[in-house]
Structure 1
Amino acid sequence: MSTPNSTLRAVRMGLLMSQDEFARAIRDAGQRVGQHNDASKRLVQRWESGETAAPRPVYARALQAVTGLPIEALGFSMPVALAHVSDDGEGGHDLEDSPVGIPATNGVPAAQPAPARGNYSGVWLSTYEFYSSGRGDTFVGKHYVVLLQHGNRLTAQSLPGASLNPDSPLSIDLQLDGSTVTGTWTEQTAADGYYRGARYFGALQMLVEPTGRRMAGKWVGFGKEFDVNTGPWELRLMDASTSKATLGKYSRPPES
């Protein structure tokens, strides 16, 4: 059976778009760069259901333009030809004084997860802290995210305009094992901000409180001197609904 692409669905819902509207945006993105595509609601349904495991490059480029995220962060189960090429045509990632990515696995086969308990879909407030060596101070990052659960997998995408710092979309991909959630995050910083549009990756592990309304733990990543950094991260449930009205309500910056 195909595995649904709940990451792409979360991203689309985070943009407050129906499948029809998402397909139209993909067609418009193709037109703007002179690469016509025939994106349709049915195609979006095939991507989200997992029936189509990866988009063709012409669609992948348009998806990146519409979502503002790299194609490898959109949950497709098969690689896409341009997955490791950045916007300027060069590979690799930036290293700044903020934490960046670490490998998700070390080659050891993953243990089978325990059955999921409850359903954690809804709007959550994501809060993390990090130390900036360049500025000599600790900072807080906050986003309202829409979180969707499919079996033991949790995917979250920040809502439009819902970050403490403008234009810094956040994606989180987690695996649920009992009361433990483990996975990765990706954040695209603002082009005119301190980190000049750099894209950061990291690992994350948290514990779910018995109430099911809060997850708390830590991220880990590398600094510019290749030292290992870490800090607290929590997700706090704001609303269990994922309706369009609810998502619209939280499409605003969290309080500082």
Structure 2
Amino acid sequence: MTTPNSTLRAVRMGLLLSQDEFARAIRDAGERAGSPNDASKRLVQRWESGATGAPRPVYARALEAVTGLPIDSLGFPSPVLARVADDGHGGHDLEDSPVGIPAAGPASSTQAAPHGNYSGVWLSTYEFVSSGRGNEVFTGKHYVVLLQHGNRITGRSLPNASLNPDSPLTLDLQLEGGTVTGTWTEQTATEGYYRGARYFGALQMLVEPTGRRMAGKWVGFGKEFDVNTGPWELRLMDASTAKATLDSYNRPPE
């Protein structure tokens, strides 16, 4: 069985691109870099379905250019952790291997979401202290698209849906009962205060019984070799992931 790459799908949907538009953007990125590729809607479908496990380097570079994220943040298993074989479709299919990234299996009775699937548009809000600005407390907000497959939840902010422009946020989470645990990554704006620095860390939240809010804490590193923490909340705005819904939330939160 193959495991769908819901991370890549969330990133694509966060960019408000159809599979065909995403393939076209990958081809355009290859042309600009002088490394043409034959990305197609079918290839994007194979990546997202998990039928093609790891893209060849020419596609990996184009994917990084289009998404603004390193290839290891796009849900593809590392070729170092799994044996691969050329599949003839722009990437590699994973062979059985005793080593590798474990697949997210179907949710068990203790892992199942109490109110169904958590896919949808959520408002992400977190607080952090800026030591370089007199320890002032700042708030970061993004509208993010969450996609759930089994007990795995992945998220990506919409392109124009953050208080700080050009600061995409990605989430990679796992659901265990009413607890959500995982990692976060934010690429700060090049022209912003943090000059394009990439921050990442851990995140753990509890899901409210209503299933419409998650709240907890983030942990991450600071510039002074310290570890910081702060509150983080996800609040459901709309359970739909239709393009019209994503378009309506493609704006900075109030």
TM-score per shorter chain, which class?
0.7 to 0.9
Deviations 1:2-48 (A, max 9, x none): 11100000011111111111101000000011110010111111110
Residues in 2 aligned to 1:32 and 1:241: alpha-carbon distance in whole angstroms: 35
TM-score (norm 1): 0.85
How far apart are the structure 1 equivalents of 2:111 and 2:175?
8
Q: Which residue of 1 aligns with 2:188?
A: 189
- Structure 2: unaligned runs, 5 residues or longer: 81-106
Instruction: Tell me the distance in 1 between the aligned counterparts of 2:118 and 2:145.
Output: 10
| Stretches of structure 1 lacking an aligned partner (at least 5 in a row) | 81-111
Q: Alignment partner of 2:155: what SS?
A: strand
CA distance in 2, matches of 1:232, 1:74: 26
Counterparts of 1:250 and 1:221, CA distance in 2: 27
Preserved CA contact (<8 Å) 1:72 1:79: no
> Map of 1:1-256 to 2, 5 A cutoff?
1-79=1-79, 114-117=110-113, 118-136=116-134, 137-255=136-254
The one-letter code matched in structure 2 to 1:115 is: Q
Checking the alignment, whether the CA contact within 8 Å between 1:129 and 1:231 is kept in structure 2 is yes
Structure 2: how far apart are the matches of 1:218 and 1:79? 32
Partner-residue secondary structure (3-state), 2:21 = helix
The Cα offsets for residues 154-199 of structure 1, whole Å up to 9 and x where unpaired, read as 0010001000000000000000000000000111110010110111
Count of paired positions: 224
SS at match of 2:54: coil
Q: Is the 8 A contact 1:53 1:78 kept in 2?
A: no
Amino acid at match of 2:111: P
Root-mean-square deviation (CA, aligned residues, Å) is: 1.3
- TM-score, with structure 2 as normaliser: 0.86
Distance 1:254 1:203 in 2: 23
Distance, in Å, in 2 between the alignment partners of 1:209 and 1:230 is 21
1:6 and 1:148 in contact (8 A); partners too = yes
Which protein has greater RCO, CA pairs closer than 8 Å, 6+ apart?
A: 1
Q: CA deviation at 1:115?
A: 2.5
